[in-house]
Structures are given as structure tokens and as C-alpha cells.
Chain A
């Protein structure tokens, strides 16, 4: 059983809750691999996808997860909604709830937006990415993928490379992987790794070669090219020269190491195509696993007593 009706972040979960979600997801992965991919588990429930930031991948993944559990799904499209008329976030979500939503999947540019609405709503809130805070289902699907590939998470050396400071994916993964006992290393330029982050129990490397040596798992993050305008690094060329996962650098990791990326990728900037499409890459399996993990989250949240 999960302790809360909402999934706001990995921070808020215990190790046991994370493991429960991963175990439950394994069952759902079997189901979505079948010819008939749908179960009637949540028939009669309503899911609203409330995305205040553009997203195709995550929104589609949640939509499929919700549909395979037989909930009705509505995509609340922000550009055509009253939000553009200046409606407040709380008014918007109260309206969505009044329409009968049982699950509200929210993505918002403000950190803490899901926390704010969760206090005011009976519906289950699932954080699909809030500002630079968390993206919990991404971390759960990453953990699921690692566990599937490596058989365990505890004790693995896992390197996360890129813009840690602005990445909610990195934050959720740090919480998730450290709770599950992995050794997490962060790699990137000092401008993109907050110095306080070491207090979360992770190692910090600015030299890519040092950081990825003998790693079991490499997680590459998308570099937002607009960070260059704010002076976080001088050019994408220089970024790549120092922190791109190249064919030379990949020789430093363990022989059976896997390479992950939450997408969308900047090929040639943070990862070269030879690796993204190569034998170590589990990038497309991450996408498939995302549906199973999101089904598990919704299924478990539906069972939480109010």
C-alpha cells in the first residue's frame, strides 16, 4: 500500500513504496506485452492529463497507461483553455475535479505546483514533471529498467551526466537510486551542478572520464541549448567536447554497462548516434517500461484509502 493518494515526488516515497511500485509494474509489463493489452481494473474512473508545458512523450505514455487500465482519459489542452485567459491554477484544477476527474496528471513549469493542488483536491495527483523539482514516474521507469537489465540496483555505480541543476529527471533519479542503495555519481560542468547536491549522498565529477570509469549504468540528460544564452556553458561544441558520450569514452565503462536517456535526445551533443542506437542502449525499452510503471502507479493510488 502506498501512504498517500498522490505521487508528488520520489522524495516523499519510502524504499518499500518504490519497490512495491516496481514489483507491481512487472505484472503490468506482462499485460502490455500481450495481444490484448487492456485490463478492466479501473473502469469507470476518469483521468485528466493536465499539461501546462508541452509534452508528447510523457503525456502519451500516461494516456496509454490510463487507457490500458480502462479509465476514461481527457487531455486538457492548455493553449485552448481558460488558463490563457488568466484563470488561476487552483480554479483550473477545481474545475477539472468538478468535471469528475479521479486522477489528475499534471505537468507544470512551477516547482511545487502538484503539491499546491494536492492540498485542495480529493482526486489523486500524479506529478508528471514540476519545474526543476521532480519527475517521479521517469525515475521509477528508469529504476524499473535498471532492475530488469541488471537484476538489482543496490551497489551499482550509476553515473548521471549533464544539466543536473535544471533537471527534474536527475533529481528524482538521485532520490530514487540512493534510496535503493546505488552509488550515484553526477557529472557535468560546475555551472550545472549545484555545489550543495553532494549533501544528498552523491559523488560529483566535472571530468567525464573520471566520472564514468567502471560505471554499470550511464544516464545521459538532455542539454537545453538555451542554457548557453544564460552563460552556463560557452557553446554546445565545447560542451560536447567535454561531456558528450562518445565511442572513445564508452570504453571506460564496465563491459556490460547500459546506457539510458529520458529523451528527447540531442544526437551529437550529449550522446553520439553509434551509442544511442548501439547494443548498450536501453533507451526505447525505457519508453515501453514507462507505460507499465505508470499503470502501476495509478493502480496503487486507486487503492489508497481516503
Chain B
């Protein structure tokens, strides 16, 4: 695959590039990136020699933004075991549609990815059928039961880049302590699904007046905050690398901010739905707005945005959680938690730039270099010599979200019908050009 992307605006926080630039890709590798003076010289030379080498596709990216391929450090691809919800093939196709060239899949499959054999299966399947790069996240404990540590070292050798019991917390504090200690030997982060199950028990939406008026059991913000606080203390005790998944409350943002100030080794992510929509979306018993942690209040949304602005929240991840329509058409309390997020994440996130919450550069950091740094991936960059993983975005393009047109099998989104601004027009990864 040889491509020349011309006339675009290159934004690559990893190299401090934010200006006009051309990118030449040869055999799936970024051969050359020309910006500034080099670009001007090049323009002059071209006028003399005509077009470049033959066999090269030229993409005119005039008026478009070129950024490193986005990295989603929190997705559920459902394979193995729940292929009726999503597969590695459909999930990664949805990812590239959304501008992501790397996704990290959570281990709550069937069987659970708590063993190197499952890790090996996912990686092999992703190589054969995946449209983008897939890095598995291994389970912290065997069967995600929160009791005995899984073989973290062996799974890392097989390709797991982080460890989490996502979907379930590690309720036993000593087990979590051991996980944070043990994982230090392999320099991998432990990702906390922060939920005190005794406080959240039976809950299906945010605790508050709306839950009362709908007759739905609430989940208090404290169910999340209690566990974040515990895990921060355990990270302090052990010196382990802690990453907090799907931060949803104002209190959680404060806890992480304080912990960072104290120099504790903690990072955090939030998801587009936590800064784009509130618990109001549940009204009418809309199961597409049922997600865990639950959608919160406008006060929480504001705090999440502040956390993104000041860097307390390092990463935007989707927690892409596809479910079958049959499951989401159950009564609210019986429907599964989760939002299909890969195909709306970029548009919703660009809304933060429009709103002045993040600069464009900060947004791209939270979607590329930051997750890459946390996970130790040499990615999220357009440096010459690196694999060509990038996305060309039309920031001005407005479009209506149509769930039935999702490439993901999961059409469970609370954003159906919402008008978003900014969408990928080309995604380049694994030696292929996707044109949308």
C-alpha cells in the first residue's frame, strides 16, 4: 500500500506537529512526513518535476485533519463466547469506522481471558479477521471471580497489555493488593472496575430523584468512589500501576485529582457517554441508556469535563459494550448494561473541542499518546518508520447518528438521532485504506 496524503492539517501530539503537512506511506509504513519548511521546499520541487512516483495513490486531504490512529483502551469484542453480540471482525470494523486503529478488549468473554490459551486465540483471530490491531486485556483473577490471581506473567508474554476484571470489581481488598504488587514484576497496569457490589446491589441506574420516580433501584455515586478510594490507597501502599476505568462521578474526579497530586501512580479514563448525556436519558425506561457505571447528573458531567481539561482524566475510552437487540428489549431491570460506543466516540469527543473544554491537541492526546503511554504501546504517533495507522477527519461534516447503520452488531446507543459534527473520512491501518 503506497499512499501520499496531501494538503491536510497534520496533528500529532507525539511529535508536537500541528500544521499543514504531507504524509507518504510505503508498504504500510510511514516513509516520510513533511511539515513546515520541508513541505514548502517540496511544493516548489514538485511544480518542476510534475507528479511523484507511479503506483502511489494520492489522497487530497485539503481542509481535513490527519491524526494518529485512535487507541481505544476499553472495548468488549465479545469473542469468544458471545458472538451473537459482536465478533472480533465486526467489532474491529466498527472501530476503524470510528477512527480507531487499536483496541484493547476486556477479558469478560466466555471463557474468560484468564489464561494464555484464550489470549492466544484472541490474538490469532484478530490477526486473521481483525480490521485493526487488537491487544487483549487479561483477567486479574481466575474466572474473574476475585479470588485467585490469574497467570499475569504468562498472559503478558502471550500478548496481554494490561489486567482487569472489568465488568466485575475485585471486591477482596487483599486480592487487589496482591494484583497491584505482583503486576509490578511485569510492568503492566491494573485496571480497576471500581464498584462496591454491596452498595450497587440490584441497582440499574443512578441513584436520585429520577430513579425514585421511575421506580428503579439506584446505584449511588459512592459505590464507585468507595472503590476508587480503596484502590488509590492500595496503589499507594504497593507502588503498583493503577488505572481507573470509566470514571463517571464528580467525586471520582476529585479522588483521582488528589491522588495524582500526592504522586500516586494512578491514571484514569472516562467514556464519551459520561460527558455527553445524563441520567435523564433513562426516562421512558430507555434500556439503551442503561450502562454501568450509570449515566449521572449534569453536575457530574461538568466535573468530568473539568477532569478532562486539567488532565486528571488521561484517556477517553469507549467501554464499547455491544448487546443484542433482543436483550435490550427486555424490561429495564432485566436488560444488560452497556452502550455500543465505537462509532459515536469521535464525534462526541470533538464536541469537547467545539465547546472549548479541550484543545484539539489535548483531545488527540487523550485518544492516542496517553493510552499508548499507559499501556506501553509504541503507537499513537506518525513518526517516520512507524506503521501507518492514522485517521483523516472531516471536522466540519455534520451527520445524524443512525444506529441501524452501525457496523457493530450492537445498535444499543442512547445517541441514535443525535447530530454530531466531525467524522473520519479515511482510516488507514494494517496496510489498508478504509474510505468512509
With A110-B331, A112-B285, A116-B331 as contacts: A88 and B215 at CB distance below 8 Å: no
Contacts A89-B331, A111-B285, A116-B331; is A171 near B215 (CB within 8 Å)? yes
Residue of chain B at shortest CB distance from A172: B215
Take A196-B208, A196-B209 as given contacts and tell me if A111 and B330 are in contact as well, using a CB distance cutoff of 8 Å. Answer: no
Q: Does B110 contact A (CB under 8 A)?
A: no
In whole Å, how far is A1's beta carbon from the nearest beta carbon of chain B?
23
Interface contact B331-A132, CB-CB below 8 Å: no
List A contacts of B218 (CB < 8 A): 194
**Which chain B residues numbered 195 to 214 have a C-beta less than 8 Å away from chain A?**
208-209, 212-214
A164-195 interface code vs B (CB 8 A; 1 in, 0 out): 00001001000000000000000000000010
How distant is B329 from chain A, measured CB to nearest CB, in Å? Answer: 6
Question: A227 interface residue, CB < 8 Å from B?
Answer: no
- Which of A88, A130, A133 is the one whose CB lies under 8 Å from B329? A88
Known: A108-B331, A110-B332. A132 touches B209 (CB 8 A): no
Q: Is A131 an interface residue (CB 8 A)?
A: yes
Q: Inside 8 A of B215's CB, which chain A residues have their CB?
A: 111-112, 130-134, 168, 171
Q: How far is the CA of A88 from the CA of B208 in the complex (A)?
A: 29
Residues of chain A contacted by B217 (CB below 8 angstroms): 132
Closest B-chain residue to A119, C-beta based?
Answer: B284
How far, in Å, is B359 (CB) from chain A's closest CB?
Answer: 38
A212 beta carbon closer than 8 Å to chain B? no
Say if the beta carbon of A199 comes within 8 Å of chain B: yes
Question: For the complex, what is the distance from the CA of A93 to the CA of B53, rounded to whole Å?
Answer: 66
**Residues of chain A lying within 8 A (CB to CB) of residue B329:** 88, 90, 116
Q: Which of B382-409 contact A (CB under 8 A)?
A: none
A249 → B minimal CB distance (Å)? 27
Question: Contacts A110-B332, A110-B333, A112-B332 known; A197 to B214 CB distance under 8 Å?
Answer: no
Does chain A have a CB within 8 A of B334? Answer: yes
Q: How far is the CA of A138 from the CA of B240 in the complex (A)?
A: 57
Which A residues touch B208, using CB under 8 A? 196
**Which residue of chain A has its CB nearest to the CB of B334?**
A110
User: Do residues A197 and B285 form an inter-chain contact, with CB atoms below 8 A?
Assistant: no
Which A residues from 73 to 128 make CB contacts under 8 A with B?
A: 88-90, 108, 110-113, 115-116
Q: Which residue of B lies closest to A89 (CB)?
A: B331
Q: How far is the CA of A171 from the CA of B217 in the complex (A)?
A: 14
Cβ of B285: which chain A residues have Cβ within 8 Å of it?
Answer: 111-112, 115-116
Interface check B216, CB cutoff 8 A: yes
Q: Report whether B209 and A199 are in contact in the complex, using a CB–CB cutoff of 8 Å.
A: yes
Tell whether B355 is near chain A: CB-to-CB under 8 Å.
no
B48 within 8 A of partner (CB): no
Which residues of chain A have C-beta atoms less than 8 A from B332's C-beta?
Answer: 110-112, 116
A29 on interface, CB distance cutoff 8 Å: no
Tell whether, in the assembled complex, residue B214 and residue A88 are in contact, meaning their CB atoms are under 8 Å apart: no
Q: Please give the distance in Å from B319's CB to the nearest CB on chain A.
A: 24
Q: Which residues of B contact A89 (CB under 8 A)?
A: 330-331
Nearest CB on B from A81, distance (A): 17
The smallest C-beta distance from B328 to any residue of chain A, in angstroms, reads: 11
* B209 pairs with A111, CB closer than 8 A: no
Bound complex: CA of A101 vs CA of B216, how far in Å?
A: 29
Bound complex: CA of A199 vs CA of B331, how far in Å?
26
What's the minimum C-beta distance from A11 to chain B, rounded to whole angstroms? 7
A39 CB within 8 Å of chain B: no
Please indicate the chain B residues that have their CB under 8 angstroms from the CB of A113 in the complex: 331
Of residues B209, B215, B284, B326, which shows the largest number of chain A Cβ atoms within 10 Å of its Cβ? Answer: B215
Which residues 281-297 of B have a CB within 8 angstroms of A?
284-285
| Across-interface contacts of B212 in A (CB, < 8 A) | 194, 196-197, 200
Residues of B within 8 A of A197 (CB): 209, 212
By a CB distance below 8 angstroms, the chain A residues around B330 are 88-89
What is the chain A residue whose CB lies nearest that of B215? A133
In the complex, which residues 203-253 of chain B have their Cβ closer than 8 Å to any Cβ of chain A?
Answer: 208-209, 212-218
A171: chain B residues at CB < 8 Å are 213, 215
In the bound complex, how far is the Cα of B326 from the Cα of A89, in angstroms?
11
Instruction: Assess the B333–A111 pair: CB atoms within 8 A.
Output: yes
What is the chain B residue whose CB lies nearest that of A110?
Answer: B331
Nearest Cβ in chain A — how far from B280, in angstroms? Answer: 14
Distance from A305 Cβ to chain B, minimum over Cβ atoms (Å) = 23
Q: Cα distance A197–B208 when bound, in Å?
A: 9
Residues on A with beta carbons closer than 8 Å to the beta carbon of B209 = 196-197, 199-200
Q: Closest A residue to B327 by CB, please name it.
A: A88
A210 CA to B331 CA in the complex, in Å? 39
The CA-CA distance from A288 to B334 in the complex, in Å, is 35
By the criterion CB–CB under 8 Å, are A112 and B334 in contact?
no
Nearest chain A residue, comparing its CB with the CB of B218 = A194
Within 8 A of A (CB), among B262-309: 284-285
Residues of A within 8 A of B (CB): 11, 88-90, 108, 110-113, 115-116, 130-134, 168, 171, 194, 196-197, 199-200
Can you name 16 A-B residue pairings with CB atoms under 8 Å? A11-B213, A88-B326, A88-B329, A88-B330, A90-B329, A108-B331, A111-B214, A112-B285, A115-B284, A132-B216, A133-B215, A133-B216, A134-B215, A194-B218, A199-B209, A200-B212
The 7 closest A-B pairs by CB, nearest first: A133-B215, A110-B331, A112-B285, A111-B215, A196-B209, A132-B215, A113-B331
Extra pairs beyond A116-B332, A131-B333, A133-B216 (8, CB < 8 Å): A108-B331, A110-B334, A115-B284, A130-B215, A132-B216, A133-B215, A199-B209, A200-B209
